[in-house]
Amino acid sequence: MTIATDLENRFAEREAQLLDDLFAFLRIPSVSAKAEHNADTQRAAAWVHGRFEKMGFTVETCPTPGHPVVLAEWRKAPAGAPTFLVYGHYDVQPAEPLNLWTSPAFEPTIRDGKLFARGSVDDKGQLFAHIAALETMLEVRGKLPVNVIVIAEGEEEVGSENLAPFIEKHKKRLACDGVVISDSSMFAPGIPSILSSLRGLAYFEINVRGPAQDLHSGSYGGAVVNPAMALARILATMHDANGKIMIDGFYDDVLPFPPDVIAGMRKLPFDEENFRKEVGATSLGGEPQFTVLEKLWTRPTCEVNGLLSGYTGEGAKTVLPGVSMAKVSCRLVPKQDPAKIEALMKAHVAKVAPKGVQVTVTHLHGGKPWRADLEGPLFEAAKKALAAAFGRAPEVTGEGGSIPVVGDFERILGVPVLLMGFGLPGENAHAPDEWMSVDNFKLGMRAIAALFEELGAGGVS
Amino acid sequence: MTIATDLENRFAEREAQLLDDLFAFLRIPSVSAKAEHNADTQRAAAWVHGRFEKMGFTVETCPTPGHPVVLAEWRKAPAGAPTFLVYGHYDVQPAEPLNLWTSPAFEPTIRDGKLFARGSVDDKGQLFAHIAALETMLEVRGKLPVNVIVIAEGEEEVGSENLAPFIEKHKKRLACDGVVISDSSMFAPGIPSILSSLRGLAYFEINVRGPAQDLHSGSYGGAVVNPAMALARILATMHDANGKIMIDGFYDDVLPFPPDVIAGMRKLPFDEENFRKEVGATSLGGEPQFTVLEKLWTRPTCEVNGLLSGYTGEGAKTVLPGVSMAKVSCRLVPKQDPAKIEALMKAHVAKVAPKGVQVTVTHLHGGKPWRADLEGPLFEAAKKALAAAFGRAPEVTGEGGSIPVVGDFERILGVPVLLMGFGLPGENAHAPDEWMSVDNFKLGMRAIAALFEELGAGGVS
């Protein structure tokens, strides 16, 4: 299979304009976590709505208790043609710390073939690759080879709380033959990838309250339990010295990956020393009996995501803080369940919390881990389409991050989910200087078009 | 001993006028921390200068790189009479937050026997008690029983940086038989107190660097050492479960307090349950074998003053932080030395720091602990004078905080320092609604006069 000439020519003509359009999308600071950006988040939804409307989709911006879901449908494929659902998200992570961005987070800039902007790769750039593919096919051919439903949500970065209820509610309308999601990364530049597993998540906030207010550390220190020190002691109980998680029952539901999948992972061209250098750490961590890829793709974690207590400005202030806070999250692997991990975490913290402080654990959000069935026409079509666009057969990879909705789609709609992403390692998805490879954006939209062509030709129903 | 009748009568006559004069002093907003108040701070220095000049002292306002030191001297005591140095400060803390003051911070008001104003107790009211005592003695008798040097500085609330160099520079001129400072509190209403110990300080910032930047906790978590978790593990090694500090050698230089001082502390009317309620904690902490007062006054500490890492805003951000920071400070007791504690802290952190992160410990500032020699004519005289004024023998107390200049006077001038303060618990020295007991002001000036009488009669040289 190769990319059809009519499409290829039109992609080549439109590329510059499409990048300009993506820039406009990226300039909208649709930070879903921050109420001060609510108007921007709405503006991003309206932008997506308008784009699909213009290309002839039937579009609805559906309110939720949080940010709206944009639902776009094109159902004019020949009778008997299958229907595929594309999922993406128009919201982005907070951009802080702003001073660490080389160019402003919401002013897209291309340097060395990389498009820098908050949301460039996660996920506006990848969502827009689908928009660009569908739009170009409609422009050139006046029609699509399959029926397409697009769901663009605005709460992926805050846990997609309202998406599963939305899918559930519109289950019939969303009936399809498979779901396609581009919100992940390729294994390496030039190696297109099909992502076959995701870790789940259980994200907590731990709050420790000691004295009723901040105290003078001289006048009170030594007789009052320090809530920042108490928090440190609680956190330090969560692992042993080898990185094993010490929360009772934490590993009980872990289902080992099949030996052939592990064997495949070990064959991937992966240089752990390169990874260390890229990360910039003096040495790597985690349980020593696993390779880095196994640690990232097949093992659960317990990480501190944030710490705050007392005085954090310049110089010295002799305060004994009244409160302390940690954000702590666990990545989960099949078949760990966030609700069960929540119970285990709460029991553990209650067990180890020192006297003299009051500790609360709040489960901010969770998502189940996921593992794909690696057979069937959707995966076969994806392999061909990726090979056509990138000139190389794709690899099957895993992912340490979470896309909770993947499991939801699979479970509610009862169809396979294809994760075909165009990010790259080091893309800084949740950090300053997030970027997307401009080449991957261009090849990605071609691969997406090829996928729909193949799915239309093959007939999956 | 009782207050001499001639002095007592004149104090009684002058009381109302003296309070009026103190009001005028308190109305000057001499906030040393704020450049916008520089003219006010100078005005307060001039006010003190003028007052001493009027009562016949030789006065000099000595410039420093910051706010000036007012140096007043009266050296006409009979040959062989001893010389004492009185230290106080004319600068005050900022008054913010202004909206929490019941009456304006710089408009002194008496309610329920309390004089409310910024600086009322810290330290203008106490410095003025010395002025009132010396002035009244000179008025009634035309002379003082001892030679008196007064140092009133204007930078106590910003760290007294220029004071030790000033004392050093004028060492010969300031030669004396003892230093008297009223800038502390009595143990409780009606219980005059001699403050016999202060804790020292060694204040650190611990910085942990892991990956070169913040990473996605999903994509990298499990294979990279988390610097926030590493910091928690480092901090958790600093105490055992009973609150004992586990830094090697930390207690080596601790010189136990004399058994009679400890016995005295245990006899003080102190209700630990009341203290717990005032603090607002569910239970108290620290090493169980010590009473609260022993923990606060006689034991060193290791406290977290601040924590910062990763994402600390609303909701969830799945970041693996690149760095983490803790402010950690140790209160020190005799004969611990901040420089040695710095070395021990650095060695400890280096020993326990996990692989995969780089940890630096910076010593931000330190001050030595101090303990009075509770013998000698200065303390004997103070006991008599306080008993005469308050009708009750004073208690010997300690203090958990630090007043670095105390050690400076003792070290540079080689003489004992007497801390005889007239504040009270709950006086809000650095908070809104600062107050000084009007009774303590009145009894304090009598005690000061009695002290000089006793010192003149006893002859300390």
Shared domain for B191 and B205, answered yes or no, is no
Domain end, chosen from B331, B347, B367, is at: B367
Q: CA of A375: how far to CAs of A81, A182, A379, A383, A454, in Å?
A: 21, 19, 6, 11, 16
DSSP letter, residue A12: H
What pLDDT is stored for residue B159 in this prediction? 86
Shared domain for A351 and A244, answered yes or no, is yes
| Interchain CB distance below 8 Å, A310 and B305 | yes
Shared domain for B132 and B14, answered yes or no, is yes
Cα angle value B317/B319/B324 (rounded, 5°): 115
Q: Give the separation between CA A292 and CA B223, rounded to whole angstroms.
A: 6
CB-nearest to B284 from A216, A224, A239 is A224
Nearest CA in chain B to A399: B219
Shared domain for B139 and B40, answered yes or no, is yes
Chain A partners of B364 at a C-beta cutoff of 8 Å?
315-316
* The dihedral formed by the CA atoms of A34, A36, A41 and A46, expressed in degrees to the nearest 10: 170
B154 contacts B30 by C-beta, under 8 angstroms: yes
- Is B267 a member of any domain? no
Nearest CA in chain A to B241: A354
Q: Give the separation between CA A425 and CA A399, rounded to whole angstroms.
A: 11
A426 vs B: CB within 8 A? no
Q: Give the separation between CA B19 and CA B275, rounded to whole angstroms.
A: 33
How far A303 CA lies from chain B's nearest CA (Å)? Answer: 7
* Long-range CB contact pairs, B186-189, < 8 A, 24+: B186/B421, B186/B422, B186/B423, B186/B424, B186/B440, B187/B268, B187/B395, B187/B397, B187/B425, B188/B269, B188/B424, B188/B425, B189/B424, B189/B437
What pLDDT is stored for residue A458 in this prediction? 65
Shared domain for A111 and A139, answered yes or no, is yes
Chain B partners of A351 at a C-beta cutoff of 8 Å?
none
Provide the CATH number for the domain around residue B151: 3.40.630.10
How far A25 CA lies from chain B's nearest CA (Å)? Answer: 22
| Residue of B297, B311, B370, B402 to mutate, interface with A, max A Cβ within 10 Å | B311
Number of C-beta neighbours around residue B181 at 10 A: 25
A247 contacts A238 by C-beta, under 8 angstroms: yes
Q: What is the 3-state secondary structure (H, E, C) of B11-37?
A: HHHHHHHHHHHHHHHHCCCCECCCHHH
What pLDDT is stored for residue A206 in this prediction? 98
Shared domain for A180 and A50, answered yes or no, is yes
Question: Tens of pLDDT along A47-62?
Answer: 999 999 999 999 999 9
| Interchain CB distance below 8 Å, A218 and B226 | no
- Is B263 a member of any domain? no
B313 vs A: CB within 8 A? yes
Provide the residue range defining the domain that includes B411.
5-198+369-458
Q: Count of CB contacts below 8 A, A vs B?
A: 324
B30 contacts B89 by C-beta, under 8 angstroms: no
B142 vs A: CB within 8 A? no
Q: Give the separation between CA B318 and CA A33, rounded to whole angstroms.
A: 12
Flag whether pLDDT at A459 surpasses 60: no
**If phi over 0 gives left and psi between -120 and 50 gives alpha, with beta otherwise, what is residue B243?**
left
- Is B449 a member of any domain? yes
- Is A277 a member of any domain? no
- Is B259 a member of any domain? no
Q: Give the separation between CA B443 and CA B190, rounded to whole angstroms.
A: 10
Shared domain for A159 and A211, answered yes or no, is no
B315 vs A: CB within 8 A? yes
Q: Which residues contact B16 (CB under 8 A, 6 or more apart)?
A: none
User: What is the average per-residue pLDDT within A373-400?
Assistant: 93
| Interchain CB distance below 8 Å, B199 and A218 | yes
Q: Give the separation between CA A183 and CA A21, rounded to whole angstroms.
A: 19
What pLDDT is stored for residue B457 in this prediction? 87
| Interchain CB distance below 8 Å, A299 and B222 | yes
How far A414 CA lies from chain B's nearest CA (Å)? Answer: 26
Shared domain for A84 and A122, answered yes or no, is yes
- Is A169 a member of any domain? yes
A:266-295 residues touching chain B, CB 8 A cutoff: 275, 279-286, 292, 295
Provide the CATH number for the domain around residue B309: 3.30.70.360
Q: Which residue has the tokens 């690696």?
A: A374
Question: Tens of pLDDT along A177-221?
Answer: 999 999 999 999 999 999 999 999 999 999 999 999 999 999 999
Shared domain for A312 and A352, answered yes or no, is yes
% pLDDT > 70, chain A: 99
More confident residue, A425 or B361: B361
pLDDT band at A426 (very low <50, low <70, confident <90, very high): confident
Chain A partners of B358 at a C-beta cutoff of 8 Å?
282
How far B359 CA lies from chain A's nearest CA (Å)? Answer: 11
Determine the residue type at B124.
Answer: K
A242 vs B: CB within 8 A? no
Shared domain for A55 and A183, answered yes or no, is yes
Name the pTM for this structure: 0.84
How far A294 CA lies from chain B's nearest CA (Å)? Answer: 9
Flag whether pLDDT at A90 surpasses 50: yes
H-helix or E-strand spanning residue A320: strand A319-320
Sheet of A114-116: strand order equals A109-111, A114-116, A435-437
Flag whether pLDDT at A383 surpasses 80: yes
Shared domain for B45 and B194, answered yes or no, is yes
Flag whether pLDDT at A460 surpasses 50: no
DSSP letter, residue B404: H
| Residue of B304, B363, B403, B428 to mutate, interface with A, max A Cβ within 10 Å | B304
Q: Give the separation between CA B350 and CA B341, rounded to whole angstroms.
A: 14
- Is B294 a member of any domain? no
Domain end, chosen from A324, A342, A367, is at: A367
Number of domains chain A is built from = 2
* Furthest C-alpha separation in chain A: 81
- How is residue A331 written in tokens? 């990545």
- Is A280 a member of any domain? no
What pLDDT is stored for residue A215 in this prediction? 92
Q: Give the separation between CA B335 and CA B332, rounded to whole angstroms.
A: 8
A306 vs B: CB within 8 A? yes
Q: Which residues contact A122 (CB under 8 A, 6 or more apart)?
A: A92, A93, A183, A423, A427, A429, A430, A434
Ranges of residues in chain B with a pLDDT under 50 are 459-461
> DSSP assignment of B290-310, as one string?
S-HHHHHHHS---EEEEEEEE
Chain A partners of B296 at a C-beta cutoff of 8 Å?
219-223
A458 vs B: CB within 8 A? no
pLDDT band at A374 (very low <50, low <70, confident <90, very high): confident
Domain end, chosen from B340, B367, B394, is at: B367
Instruction: Give chain B's end-to-end CA distance (angstroms, integer).
Output: 21
Q: Is B138 exposed, middle or buried (0-12, 13-18, 19+ CB in 10 A)?
A: middle
What pLDDT is stored for residue B45 in this prediction? 98
Determine the residue type at A53.
Answer: E
B256 contacts A439 by C-beta, under 8 angstroms: no
What is the average pLDDT value for chain A, to the nearest integer? 95
- Closest listed residue to residue B183, CA positions, set B412, B433, B427: B427
Determine the residue type at B165.
Answer: P
CB-nearest to A212 from B210, B279, B399 is B279
Q: Give the separation between CA B299 and CA B256, rounded to whole angstroms.
A: 9
Side-chain-side CA neighbours of residue B62 (13 Å): 19
Shared domain for A339 and A432, answered yes or no, is no
How far A71 CA lies from chain B's nearest CA (Å)? Answer: 26
Q: Give the separation between CA B31 and CA B11, rounded to whole angstroms.
A: 30
